Amino acid sequence: METQPKDMEEGEKTPESKDLLPSQTASTLCISSRSESGWNAVPRNKWDIYHKPVIVLSVGGAVFLFGVAITSLTCLTVNKTNTSDTSNMTKNAFKLCGPAFLSMGLMLLVCGLVWIPIIRKKLRQRHQYHFLQSIKSFFIH
């Protein structure tokens, strides 16, 4: 245990004790567990709500289509044989990049598609919260 120096008066507080919250700590923690500003925010338009999933969906679709194009090009050019080493290295790079772009694009597409129902559920919960608060305030007041 730490002991305070003897030259400090008993009425004088340490800097650490000045930073402590008053005895209302439990009630302030409960209030701050959910941000009131997030629940009482002004309704936003659809673009403000869904712009991130839409961007993820469009980037994922573009990457997926790019992967399809690269994979199909490598499949079409496999039959042509070329003896140069640089050509083989290029073909191997395209063979590796095609499936990588396919999988990354598909992953982004799925993330965007799953994100939209999550946002809808959160909006519904927020709406229910406001409804229950209005009922509560009606009966309490």
Among 16-20, 38-42, 55-59, the range of highest mean pLDDT: 55-59
Cα dist from 122 to 18, 105, 134, whole Å: 39, 26, 18
Mean of all residue pLDDT scores within the chain: 75
The average pLDDT across 119-140 equals 84
Mean pLDDT of 106-134: 90
Q: Provide the token pair at 48.
A: 């403000």
* 83 part of a folded domain: yes
Percent of the chain with pLDDT over 90: 31
Distance from first CA to last CA of the chain, Å, rounded?
51
pLDDT above 70 for 84: no
Would residue 43 count as lying in a domain?
Answer: no
Taking only the tens place, the pLDDT of each residue in 48-59 is 889 999 999 999
> 62: closest CA among 107, 105, 26, 6?
105
| 113 contacts 71 by C-beta, under 8 angstroms | no
In a domain, 22, yes or no: no
- DSSP letters, 116-138, are HHHHHHHHHHHHHHHHHHHHHHH
* Higher-confidence position of 14 and 123: 123
Is 2 inside any structural domain?
no
Q: What is the pLDDT of residue 32?
A: 43
Who wins on pLDDT, 133 or 69? 69
Q: What pLDDT band is residue 3 in, cutting at 50, 70 and 90?
A: low
Boundaries of domain holding 61: 50-115
The structure tokens listed for 37 are 């500003």
- Asked if pLDDT for residue 40 goes beyond 80, the answer is no
- Is 109 within the bounds of a domain? yes
**Residue 113: count of CB within 10 angstroms of its CB:** 13
Higher pLDDT, 137 or 109: 109
Q: What is the DSSP letter of 22?
A: -
Is the pLDDT at 62 greater than 90? The verdict is yes
Q: Tell me, what amino acid is at 99?
A: P
Q: In total, how many domains does the chain have?
A: 1
